[in-house]
Amino acid sequence: MNILAIEISTSSAKAMLYSPEEGAKAVESITFPPKSCDVMSQEPGDIYDLLKKCILSITDKTRNIDAIGVCTTWHTILFLGQNHNPLGRIYTWAHNKASVIVENYRRDDGFKKWYYNKTGCMVNSTYPLWQYIYFRDTKSPMCNEKALISSQQAFIFEKLTGEFVMSKTTAAGSGFLNIKSLSWDKDILDFAGLKEEQLPALKEPTYSAPLKQEVASELNLPPGIPVVLGGADGAMNQIGDGAVKHGFMTFSVGTSGALRMVADQPILPNQPSTWCYYLIDDMWIAGAATSGAGNCVDWFIKKHSFGEVKLKHDDLGQKLHEVDRDDAPIFMPFLYGERCPGWRDDRRGAFYNLTGKHGLVDMYYAVLEGVLFNLYHCFRLLTRDIGKPSKVIISGGIEHSQEWLQMASDIFQTELAVSQVQHASLLGTAVLTLKAVGGIPSLAYHTPTPKRIIKPQEDLAELFHKRFEKYLEIYNKC
């Protein structure tokens, strides 16, 4: 059986040809040009055309495909007219113009907890509800009383099948879905001034519909093959890394950072800090996401390279052993605001306890450490409610730095299984699609072997405990 997994991310279109016997047989990727995507928004027609081009790169070689699975970004919004044509661009989680409006609502502690307990989402500009409120309150012509509210996923699935639907998995990250009933929340819709018929019909991520005849002809695919609705990238990543078992945590450190664990019920702390979304089959994902990770490291490298002198991660990494960790500066990794745990768009990055004796390597060390301290802060809050993980699977750009991996294991004082899965969200989409069409009995069938295990150095536990306490002291003051 051959599965075609397709994905629209924040910056590119991707496609993978996968079979359970041979694994990933081909992967294609096309980066969106600036006119089509500026990270904060995307031109719907352009990204669909580039996705088709990506698919054709695979189907030009083989038409032997049994099903298609769809993966998209988690938090997106698109306005459609009554004819289902886009009224503007797709706006992603990075479109933060709602932050000023959101701040007014977040100050109301009662409202914040009411909203959080209904949706599992924080009052934050990341979520499509608050983007809708922004466009509504600024009287955008896209946002009229008859406009339909779509998303990346609903748009792509409708293009392929003609059905206007969204998976409950993707909808869980919209801010409109009731996390317990898994239906559009009437109170939230009333708050926004929307009617349920303006939103897509809700389906399980394993729901499928036949590929339209005209689209099949364009893509060199058999007409009528099932297109599986799928879910959002973070959820598919959890499946791709083989972490749908209770007690397994995924730990991603890429451009941003994330921690995720599955649970058999919504996990909603008394004080809103982490998020909780629906996954599949009576499973939810409780997690935390940070805004600053590899992007902070890249910022440091770029800002401290001058002319022909270019700093390199490897060169700095090899010198980290020279740093006096007891006396190193503390870095607050909020160059791009804060998501978890404080959800403050106005929080800013900074170096503390920086003196004239500190050099570039000391500062580089502080950036790596500060990124991990932010994630460890989230880890402590998340595991307080869901319990400590039995296995932690780490992935992302951090894999390219042995020093950073070891630092993560030492700070968390836990073994880290380094994922060898490439394109985890695409792979997770392929696995979900296989389950949907009866190719495998359950998602737990997929159990990838880690590349290697990183073990913590116990003699550094006290040092990092003291450093983290300093970090928290500064965090609570700024």
Tell me which residue range forms the domain holding 121: 3-231
In angstroms, the CA 72 to CA 425 distance is 9
Q: What DSSP string describes 172-203?
A: TTTS-B-TTT-SB-HHHHHHHT--GGGSPEEE
Query: Can you say how many angstroms the Cα of residue 466 is from the centroid of all Cα atoms in its chain?
Result: 31
Same domain, 163 and 17: yes
Residue 145 neighbours by CB under 8 Å, 6+ apart: none
**Residue type for position 411:** I
- Single residue among 201, 231, 261 that ends a domain in this structure: 231
Same domain, 395 and 452: yes
Same domain, 216 and 279: no
pLDDT tens series, the chain, 478 aa: 999 999 998 889 999 999 988 889 999 999 999 999 988 999 999 999 999 999 999 998 888 899 999 999 999 999 999 999 999 999 998 888 998 889 889 889 999 999 999 999 999 988 999 999 999 999 999 998 889 999 999 999 999 999 999 999 999 999 999 999 999 999 999 999 999 999 999 999 999 999 999 999 999 999 999 999 999 999 999 999 999 988 999 999 988 899 999 999 999 988 888 999 999 989 999 999 998 999 999 999 988 876 656 788 888 989 999 999 999 999 999 998 898 999 888 899 999 999 999 999 999 999 999 999 999 999 999 999 899 999 999 998 899 999 999 999 999 999 999 988 888 899 999 999 999 999 999 998 888 889 999 999 999 999 999 999 999 999 999 8
Same domain, 220 and 265: no
- Pairing between β-strand 283-290 and β-strand 275-280 as defined by DSSP bridges: antiparallel
pTM assigned to the model: 0.89
- Single residue among 170, 201, 231 that ends a domain in this structure: 231
Same domain, 263 and 195: no
- Single residue among 231, 259, 288 that ends a domain in this structure: 231
Is residue 180 included in any domain, yes or no?
A: yes
Residue 327: what are its φ and ψ, rounded to 5°?
-110, 10
Of 394, 33, 439, 444, the residue nearest 208 (C-alpha): 439
